[in-house]
Structure 1
Amino acid sequence: MPERQFGEHLDTSSDSNGSRDPIGFSKNDVNISLPNPARIYDYGLGGDHNFASDREAFHKLLEVDPDARTVVRSNRAFLRRAVRFCLDQGITQFLDLGSGVPTVGNVHDAAHEMNPDARVVYVDNEPVAAAHTRRLLQDQPNTAIIQEDMRDPEAVLNAPETARLLDFSQPVGLMMAAVLHWVGDDVTELLARYRRELVPGSAVAISHLTDEDLPEQMRKVEAIFDETSTPVTYRPRSRASELFTGFDIVEPGAVYCSEWRAEPEETLAEPHRTKIWAAVGIKT
């Protein structure tokens, strides 16, 4: 099977022998008929690492939410701004949980624009996301991908890649962009475990889907994700103080992501159209 080039959509429906793809995942590792949020997100951003089922799911989202592309793009823009904020605070190492499929605006892209020596560890358990990230990072010595579930902090924190690249005696930027809404369980203990690893001066950046201003529309969105590999769980901005226990939330607080320290061209007249709130906190 020839090596697939970036710019081609993944579609292995014609290859049913279970062979291993050159970038490192087996066809048996991935149920291509079941949409996956990471790959849906990739397609929404204009990426190429998705299957027909993911594209179909995103077009279903567009039917109930015409702003679906605005949602994913606004979140990605927040992530870039949060990385830059961390660098301005002197943070030069990042742990990106639930990093998803590599596409426009990765953490290391944003970080290396300001500091080529910044170190980044990505974490994702989705085989396509991990395989493509691994390939993307082949020539990036200051970056790595761990194929683990972020809900298993011990596996993440004890991974060889984490030990090689991150020094937890120094501040770390913990990035959790558009990932906690895929965790249906109580996330407070999960956050507490990662928080214990961080020294004062570390930062955590969280963005999260909410249904608080558009409940009827978001119920339709929820129904679509119920048919994917990972259902969605909404949490309102009022939960921010709980999620940021042990951190001082910086200005402007928990706001829709297009409002968080956005450039003029990134702002929206109706910020709630992003359906994602965002905040950044500094550990005290």
Structure 2
Amino acid sequence: MKEPSELSGVDVDRPNAARMYDYYLGGSANFEVDRVAAEAGKAAMPDAVTYARSNRAFLGRAVRYLCSVGVDQFLDLGSGIPTVGNVHEIAQEANPRARVAYVDIEPVAVAHGRRLLAGVDGVTTTQADIRDPASVLSAPGVADLLDFDRPVAVLAVAILPFVTDDAEAAALVAAYRQACVPGSYLVISHIAQLAASREQVAEAEQVMARTPTPVVWRSADRIAPLFNGYALVPPGLLPAPQWRPDGPVEAEHIARANAYAGVGLLR
């Protein structure tokens, strides 16, 4: 990891959600300011690491499922900093011709992605704000790689909490849906109050309010409308560890993940 002075255009004075998430996952693409904020997040929400890792595990299961039903194009919104088990690794293991367009606004995430993916066929990394679908969809790394006349899986894993207005979040998802043809999919995971107390939720939101990307926790009945226009794939929208698990899951772990997840099929 370069020192802050070597990274042009990177804000190292304020903690960043992507770099905090990287820290929770055990990565090294983070700075002291991120680690301090992440530890504050853990103090407010002791299950923060469980949440991050449960999201990552769900992403892997969802991608493997999509490959099993023939999906070979993926648009990963808010993809974050590359770490073990990236979408392209999972997808191209199942289908070497699979194509993956990563999109993130964070310069460190994009820089790491481009360095990691140099020379990898069928994969791009684009720096763009996912809240501007027109810019994302027209970016060369997306438009020149993905064929939207064929099914595309839009991945919105642990990213929609950063779109704090419910109407804006719904409109955002709808814009990506409208770019896709029937047979496409939407994958969502979203932070939710399961094991967390109201006080922990409030304190965790306060920690993130000190970053450029505040978050909102949503209940299942506020997450479900984000799938409007899609048919939920069984087993539906439920706590992330329960979505097609690889094996038995302890009840305590289900709650401590503090996240709902689901996959929708565009009819």
TM-score category of the 2 structures, normalised to the smaller one: over 0.9
Residue in 2 aligned with 1:168?
A: 148
Q: In the TM superposition, what is the alpha-carbon distance from 1:112 to its structure 2 partner? A: 1.4
Is 1:235 the counterpart of 2:218? The answer is: yes
Residues 113-192 of structure 1 aligned to structure 2 (within 5 Å)? 113-185=93-165, 186-192=168-174
Contact in 2 for aligned 1:61/1:224 (Cα 8 Å): yes
RMSD: 1.4
Q: What TM-score do you get using the length of structure 1 for normalisation?
A: 0.89
Q: In the TM superposition, what is the alpha-carbon distance from 1:277 to its structure 2 partner? A: 0.7
Larger radius of gyration: 1
Aligned pair partner of 2:246 in 259, 263, 268: 263
Residue in 2 aligned with 1:6?
A: none
* Shift in alpha-carbon separation, 1:209–1:104, aligned structure 2, 3 A: same
Residue in 1 aligned with 2:25?
A: 45
Residue in 1 aligned with 2:15?
A: 35
Residue in 2 aligned with 1:211?
A: 193
Q: In the TM superposition, what is the alpha-carbon distance from 1:65 to its structure 2 partner? A: 2.2
Distance in 2 separating the partners of 1:34 and 1:171: 38
Q: In the TM superposition, what is the alpha-carbon distance from 1:190 to its structure 2 partner? A: 1.0
Q: In the TM superposition, what is the alpha-carbon distance from 1:84 to its structure 2 partner? A: 0.8
* Shift in alpha-carbon separation, 1:65–1:220, aligned structure 2, 3 A: same
Distance in 1 separating the partners of 2:31 and 2:93: 31
Contact in 2 for aligned 1:47/1:104 (Cα 8 Å): no
Structure ranking higher in helix proportion: 2
Distance in 1 separating the partners of 2:203 and 2:61: 30
Contact in 1 for aligned 2:71/2:152 (Cα 8 Å): yes
Distance in 1 separating the partners of 2:266 and 2:234: 14
Contact in 2 for aligned 1:258/1:268 (Cα 8 Å): no
The SS at the match of 1:165 is coil
Per-residue CA deviations over 1:189-214 (Å, capped at 9, x if unaligned) read: 11111101111111100001113653
Runs of 4 or more off by more than 3 Å in structure 1?
A: none
- Report how many aligned residue pairs link the two structures: 263
Per-residue CA deviations over 1:7-50 (Å, capped at 9, x if unaligned) read: xx5542xx3xxxxx4xxx51xx1221200110000011011111
Which amino acid in the other structure matches residue 246 of structure 1? G
Residue in 2 aligned with 1:220?
A: 203
Structure 1 window deviating more from structure 2 (239-248 vs 150-159): it is 239-248
Which amino acid in the other structure matches residue 209 of structure 1? I
Distance in 2 separating the partners of 1:10 and 1:179: 26
Which runs of 5 or more structure 1 residues have no equivalent in the other structure?
1-8, 16-20
Q: What TM-score do you get using the length of structure 2 for normalisation?
A: 0.94
Contact in 2 for aligned 1:101/1:129 (Cα 8 Å): yes
Which amino acid in the other structure matches residue 74 of structure 1? S
Contact in 2 for aligned 1:45/1:104 (Cα 8 Å): no
The SS at the match of 1:264 is coil
Q: In the TM superposition, what is the alpha-carbon distance from 1:231 to its structure 2 partner? A: 0.6
Q: In the TM superposition, what is the alpha-carbon distance from 1:258 to its structure 2 partner? A: 0.8
Contact in 2 for aligned 1:130/1:147 (Cα 8 Å): yes
